[in-house]
Amino acid sequence: MTTTPDWIMIGGDGPESYNQQSSYQRALLEAAKDKMTEAISANLSLDLISNRFSVADFGCASGPNTFVAVQNIIDAVEEKYQRETAQNPVDNIEFQVLFNDFTLNDFNTLFKTLPPGRRYYSAGVPGSFFDRVLPKESFHIGVMSYAFHFTSKIPKGIMDRDSPLWNKDMQCTGFNQAVKKAYFDQYSIDTKKLLDVRAEELVPGGLMLLLGSCLRDGVKMSETPKGTVMDFIGESLSDLAKQGVTEQEKVDTFRTSIYFAEQGEIRQIIEENGKFTIEAFEDIIHSENEFPLDPKILATSFKAFYGAFISAHFGTEIMRKAFDLVEVKAREQMSRLQNCKPGMQYLIVLRKN
């Protein structure tokens, strides 16, 4: 079984929580709505739309983005059903939504903030999405929103100073080819396992919708705005160590279990796995790209996404001080951010073979 990682999002509804700081990710989900609707209309067989229809979100966090994603799916299924049968889906279909995430996820906040007036029944499914969490052939459409870039663990050797794979940076920047290969190999193993277990749980002909970030082919992580801010985080933690606020050894052993793959690498892994057909690999365009290049927004957004992970290693006070420095670095190096190469926001539509 996969162990629970430290990269659970900050729960609750406070100013640092994922709920409060995820509006730009939500905007991207809303930008993807039309493409999700088109994908479901084109690729979901009407025969699969029965009186009970199950949707599963893997890596749901504590909301509210999961509610946007599942509602987009339900709206698309209802639209297809009504258009092709001339019947009212409200009279004939009951929807069940299964919210999955690791056991430390803040499910209390998730269920407290369920949208009023929703037309679905809901249940929580705690457990690692790298493992089987549902019965065989138990859901019709699955979705992963910004969770497809995680690995189950940090590759062996990455934190060992005596290893040729030792990574001096907190992330896989893309510039050290040995480190990049180690991360890619681990990501490939984990992603293929994830696809294997989803294929068991999904009904024949069912769909998986993957929304997230990747690199365009040939672009290195540290050449993108996201990678640059991650570099700022690492630099800020090193600055705090130099000031004696934290220990350098802690900084040297802090590495992320995250790999933002290139577009071609993702396609390669899915095709090699063989359990799914790629029906679409869409580029999601948004006016602010992934997030606006505003120093405060960058710092607070990344704090929501990575703050719990950093707090688990350094403590909450060090995490807060680090992100104060991140905001300063982003302001001082805005020209560097503005000259970065763009990342890619994607919608991948997979149909079970």
Across the range 78-105, mean pLDDT stands at 96
Residue 271's pLDDT is what?
A: 98
Taking residue 185's Cβ as centre, other Cβ atoms within 10 Å add up to 14
Place of tokens 């905001």: 327
Residue 5's pLDDT is what?
A: 47
Residue 287's pLDDT is what?
A: 66
Cα 176 to Cα 182, 189, 221: the distances in Å are 10, 20, 11
* pLDDT greater than 90 at residue 286: no
Write the DSSP assignment of 226-239 as a string of letters: HHHHHHHHHHHHHH
* pLDDT greater than 70 at residue 36: yes
Measure the CA–CA gap between 203 and 194, rounded to whole angstroms: 16
Name the β-bridge partners of 350.
208, 278
Q: Where is average pLDDT lowest: 11-25, 32-46, 140-154, 312-326?
A: 11-25
* pLDDT greater than 60 at residue 261: yes
pLDDT tens-digit profile of 130-172? 999 999 999 999 999 989 999 999 999 998 888 889 898 999 9
Looking at per-residue pLDDT, the higher value among 110 and 304 belongs to 110
* pLDDT greater than 80 at residue 196: yes
Helices (H) and strands (E) in the chain, counts: 13, 7
Residue 77's pLDDT is what?
A: 98
Q: Cβ-count burial of 231 within 10 angstroms (0-12 exposed, 13-18 middle, 19+ buried)?
A: buried
Place of tokens 């009504």: 82
* pLDDT greater than 90 at residue 101: yes
* pLDDT greater than 70 at residue 70: yes
Looking at per-residue pLDDT, the higher value among 305 and 234 belongs to 234
- Name the band, by pLDDT with cuts 50, 70 and 90, for residue 21: very low
Closest CA to 111 of 102, 98, 93, 128: 98
Q: Which helix (H) or strand (E) holds 304?
A: helix 295-314
pLDDT tens-digit profile of 45-56? 999 998 999 999
Exposure pattern of 276-292 as b/e (b: 16+ CB <10 Å)?
beeebbbebeeeebbbe
User: Largest Cα–Cα distance of the chain, in whole Å?
Assistant: 69
Omega of the bond leading into 295 within 30 degrees of 0 (cis):
no
Closest CA to 141 of 189, 206, 93: 206
